[in-house]
Chains A and B, each alone.
Chain A
């Protein structure tokens, strides 16, 4: 299945870049012809540009929930974002909104079941810096494993 693993976040904003760090590790640990590893620091329509044409998408991203502990890992689908998260951009579409628009326009996009979001609970997303805080950095190997499990593949 043509799969995209996409690390999302800002790699120079401390924990915000955790998804990108995970994707970078994955790219060195897993090589399969049907899987593409990429990173992006965008959302909404810009995100739609990146994810079009795949049959399955695994997004790895940072998240902050009310009672979350830094380092917790959540496995979500786009619909969960509507219910459980309140991330937003004042300038662009939400992920579910972008997906609905893309589908409405006839873009090739997987259904929601085939879009998995591995979301890592983070601590500091307001300070510029290239490294994650310790609790979040320590989670990166577990997040890598979580994605490998999604891919149905052990370490290669």
Chain B
């Protein structure tokens, strides 16, 4: 058996490795994403006061500290059996919506758009944000920086710090906003809605209007039907901050809808001998290996899955975009991995519209933003939709609120198995009978990039490039071919 290994040369961050195994005929037999797992967070958390968790857990990840902050605060609410006052909830969702705008902006414009605007076969040296600006104009770079900046400024205003938010506490948030802050957020919100619309227009003009790209989105190479997960409100509409987790089957029918505290009834984690990673799957369907379809318990948790798992969006412009999405791609559910980029832009618009809705809510400047916990703490689960997937925090404490047990299922973890499947599909199209054709690296990269994986879950150290090294090995493990490129 031959092994093709796509391997970042050394690690500091985002260190993942892709192993592609060939069969005797030289075709792809299996593909796996291998990620060194960070160790010992549960132990690290044990013995600490649970109210510290919303400040500690954002340090797990330099990419989505806000998501950990929110899931953790919600888990603490549950541990203390405290109800957050309406304005506290709204301020949390406002912060979270602003974070979504910033995060989705970075992913689409910095990482995804270059593949489409410059083309999937453009050399990596051009296929980046600088190449994008060069091609589309400096103005777009300005828009991206400004919009992301406004999102982060709102996060900073509400969260206390822009880098590591501290605003949410068990029972609510630490600070109310005044009229001046509200008006500023509203003004930014309107601008962000326009930016959200701009993104969808750009996607329409650059991607959808180009038949090659539309065909690529709909192609078998990038099609992986599976179960889809996403948080929904009481009307089954997409919600990032609160609600129940809904899972639909590969045909789009509701499979289960569960409250956060029920997650262990629904989700199990598969352990494989070749990696520390655990692969979550749907308990009642069961683990059938790295395969898709109705009989396989593998599910994904992505922007695409959130749209598939819901019945629509609560905001008007996003709802319109949602309908257009399914009309264009042949109805629900959509199985095309690359459509995740489009779904992400619809979510960006939704988040921007939510900023305006929340900033104009009559209660938003109410000073009552927290109920101080009075109950004895014991156990709680908090779930939010992180941009990279459903994020679950589960804490068990003693009666003094000291953490005894802690379990996290982080966003990207949900997608380890789906990513492996998508990589295998993409690789299969480009490796035939031992021949690795041009474009393998780029397509494999596009397949896993659409999931927006956060591999190290701690992106901060000497930020550099994501190198891919492909080693083609013969049956004895000798390297017979080597491919490498740097993704910037």
Contacts and interface: CB of A to CB of B under 8 A. Distances in A.
Interface of A: 8-13, 16, 19, 40-47, 49-50, 59, 61-66, 81-82, 85-98, 100-101, 104-105, 117, 119, 125-129
Interface size class of chain B, counting residues whose CB lies under 8 Å from the partner chain: 35 or more
A86 B460 contact: no
B465 A41 contact: no
Interface of B: 8-16, 36-41, 43-44, 56, 59-60, 62-63, 65, 106-107, 110-111, 128-130, 133, 138, 141-142, 145, 148-149, 152, 162-164, 448-449, 452-456, 458-467, 486-488
Contacts of B107: 91
A93 B486 CA distance: 12
A39 B237 CA distance: 39
A90 B448 CA distance: 10
Contact of A65 (B10, B128, B467): B10
Given A42-B62, A42-B459, A104-B133, A86 B111 contact: no
A89 B141 CA distance: 20
Contact of B454 (A50, A87, A91, A117): A91
A70 to B, nearest CB: 14
Nearest to A48: B145
Contacts of B152: 46, 49
A92 B39 contact: no
B462 A49 contact: no
A40 B483 CA distance: 35
Nearest to B463: A43
Given A59-B462, A90-B16, 10 more contacts: A19-B461, A81-B462, A85-B10, A91-B14, A91-B111, A91-B452, A92-B110, A92-B463, A104-B138, A128-B38
Nearest to B460: A41
Contacts of B464: 81-82, 85-89, 94-96
A86 B63 CA distance: 18
Q: Nearest 5 A-B pairs (CB), nearest first? A: A43-B463, A87-B12, A88-B466, A87-B464, A128-B44
Contacts of A46: 62, 152, 163
A100 B130 CA distance: 8
Contacts of A127: 38-40
Contacts of A8: 460-462
Contacts of B14: 87-91
Contacts of A82: 464-465
